[in-house]
A and B are shown apart, each in its own frame.
Chain A
């Protein structure tokens, strides 16, 4: 691979590129699903190819190919340079970047059990057993399970001399019980909705999730939701479960801190951000107990945003985003760091595959744990609603106004969970929401959730991101608006 990567860099240089970086990537994936006790998807895929990014005449070009021969990659590199020169026809200034060192390294994400070495029969047997457990519950009308495994090798080389090989192993799974009754469809998912939990880990992740133990619990809840009281519409106290808080962090912290959005580079599609440059180090983003980091280092945990180097050859870092409630940092790359006067990229350039351009993406954007025990937090809440497991999410294109709904809610009265609530939802304005946070649970209750499906960029790229969170409490939140006036 290094020979092809080096050859493409040489050709790009000969054709007039001032800078070039190249990624050869080999992606392998296995997808398994079941539905109502039968196999749904049973598929494996692999893809291998090369993508090269160049700076030519002061402008960017990118081309990709699956023709992994010396001629194929040479043509691809020449094409990238031609595209860069075409870009220069509509440039306003030359693209520049902050300096970065050259690194020569090889890294593999830690895992115990290679999921591709686990017999497929046992993987399917586990899914079918979980499916059967859910179908045993009266009132459940649809059961679904899924597992996904990926192994990604990337060989990064750049014209400043970097040569970095990384291998990542990713595992994920989830189960869902749905119940249709009367004029309602209710569902419950475990360990999270929209595909479950995903991590930079091996099959040990699947084994740790105890699917069979949780399957009947969520099935019972899905059926019971029909008879539950409707979530009231009011302003009040809200406690969010960890996975829902993870998505709240993703949407209302992770996306607005992307410096490409802030600088208008995503204005036509993903949108911009309310976090304009004047707000850095001046905005009170949240209450004093809100501390958020962007941490791509493996020490942070086996998150979908963990790596050793980003796809621009910059080492993984931990960046303060919100410290003691104050807004402290953005996600940047080498180019945007230069544009706003930073000394170094925060190392967040990531690509979905060899045929996609690296763009600024979330790494692991996590809320640091607080001090509360979960039971103490409930006991300390006189009147509130606990919501868990995301059902829908939506936020405006500058990331101010959001609305989330969850699969299930629990009314809290006098420090106790007293009854189940259906169709819970809440909404608000990002900074008002985070400033209303008055309690965050401790590290004992903290999980690094994986969001495997974050879409961004044109052409669209899907990326996995990590979000560490433990349950937290928010005061005076607008609750129940999703069902207003319906």
Chain B
């Protein structure tokens, strides 16, 4: 399972056609000013405006060829008016003055149709934000031809090895500019890139994926080689009995499993009594080796330094050595709890309040190889899939392993095994973590990207086996 030696990073874009680029931020400031002026003249006491712009491209391949290849370009304006203790949101991508006037009128009309909200807060005033630089010119300059060539190389590797490749290579850029009638102004732009590949060697498959703000931070061919090697190892899977096993979750599998915790850290979720941390804050809930923070400024994270209300995001220590210590707060939740807002609120109005979106799990110093070497009998899990919550308070999750499940015996990977279904309490699993790997920017398909280590966990409950 070693990485390929030859590097094929997509470092030098070979652009041959003029590319569309994001609008100048100053121009979007002008759009915001115009809308605020319209809102004021229409009778709004206050107003808030977002201008979101995306330029996203995605090349998709299967059966060793590109079969879908798409490009998206759009600007959306989302505005919220406040009048007489009432608020409502209207979103449109029609940017002519008449349409924007109609959007403002709709927002005021929607707002007026509801009872007065006595807890509605005044819009925040001007804020100071920590600067983040998450825009890569190299990534923004990638062309469809660049992506096609990288895909071609990955598919050629599959063909050489008698395998079938499927996956995506996406690159894009986005920008959010926000302002309100009380002088708040915030702007953020980023680039993003992702390569994901499944190599199929009938009847098995394996998978590798990477996601970053800068396309130069991963090597598609290296990911292809890793998936290819693991697919070959997975090809002759045998069935073993269900039961409790020690598992080694690679970072993507750990992410997609524990990623389901994120909303439980919302103060509003606790107030609504739907968080698994209800009546458990301050108690030793996980192992002492579990520390979790939310930190948008972490170098492996992406995201704006402000939330949906324009409040600066703060780093929040959520779990300290196994003990849930802090929650995240929107302005409203903070006022109710007599706390300070942490910069994790969603755009208003909404019923969910807030959530930490930039989780960082503290890692350890054990490599996956060391975890394997220390395991007498267990399972190495590449990826898990279709994860759903069975019990929201005990946080019992179900899901399937996928794309490479391997039996570990006496410190070595000895064979591939058929995929299992798990029914496992997440709380219990985080009490049973024996070893942690270094935390990396992990990416899966079920949770958003987080900084996550590989984990070795004992007594992981597998209840059913499937046919492959």
Contacts and interface: CB of A to CB of B under 8 A. Distances in A.
A468 interface: no
B110 interface: yes
Interface string A90-112: 11110100000000000000000
Interface string B198-239: 101000010100000000000000000000000000000000
A482 B390 contact: yes
A33 interface: yes
Given A62-B70, A86-B147, A263-B63, A124 B114 contact: yes
A355 interface: yes
Nearest to A62: B70
A40 to B, nearest CB: 3
A485 interface: yes
A83 interface: yes
B419 A183 contact: no
Query: What's the dominant secondary structure at chain B's contact region?
Result: strand
B349 A403 contact: no
Interface in A30-74: 33-36, 38-49, 59-67
Given A86-B143, A357-B70, A46 B91 contact: yes
B284 interface: no
A85 to B, nearest CB: 8
Interface string B373-395: 00000000000011111111110
Contacts of B117: 38-39
A423 to B, nearest CB: 7
B180 interface: no
B386 A82 contact: no
Contacts of A79: 71
Interface residues of A, number: 90
Given A64-B71, A87-B148, A482-B423, A43 B273 contact: no
Nearest to A59: B66
A89 B71 contact: no
A396 interface: yes
A45 B90 contact: yes
A481 B59 contact: no
A75 to B, nearest CB: 8
B90 A43 contact: yes
Contact of B391 (A49, A397, A423): A423
Nearest to A430: B467
B461 A484 contact: yes
Contact of A49 (B93, B155, B205): B93
A61 B58 CA distance: 11
Interface in A454-486: 458-459, 478, 481-486
Interface in A359-398: 359, 391-398
A235 B3 CA distance: 46
A359 B62 CA distance: 14
B94 A48 contact: yes
A264 B386 contact: no
Contacts of B419: 396
Interface stretch (B42-50, B72-80, B302-310): B72-80
B351 A33 contact: yes
B166 A267 contact: yes
A217 B166 CA distance: 49
Contacts of B463: 481-482, 484-485
B34 interface: no
Contact of A92 (B63, B143, B274): B63
Contacts of B87: 42
A141 interface: yes
Interface of A: 33-36, 38-49, 59-67, 76, 79-80, 82-84, 86-87, 89-93, 95, 119-121, 124, 128, 141-142, 144, 178, 180, 183-185, 263-269, 271, 274, 355-357, 359, 391-398, 400-401, 403, 405, 423, 425, 427, 429, 458-459, 478, 481-486
Interface of B: 17, 56-76, 78, 87-94, 106-107, 109-111, 113-115, 117, 143-145, 147-149, 151-152, 155, 164, 166-168, 170, 196-198, 200, 205, 207, 244, 272-274, 278, 349-351, 385-394, 396, 398-400, 402-403, 419, 421, 423, 425, 445, 461, 463-468
17 contacts: A36-B272, A43-B110, A62-B69, A80-B71, A82-B144, A87-B144, A90-B61, A142-B273, A185-B274, A264-B164, A265-B63, A269-B445, A271-B385, A398-B467, A405-B398, A459-B56, A486-B391
- A-B pairs, top 9 by smallest CB distance, nearest first, are A40-B351, A86-B144, A401-B466, A180-B273, A45-B91, A267-B166, A120-B113, A392-B388, A90-B152
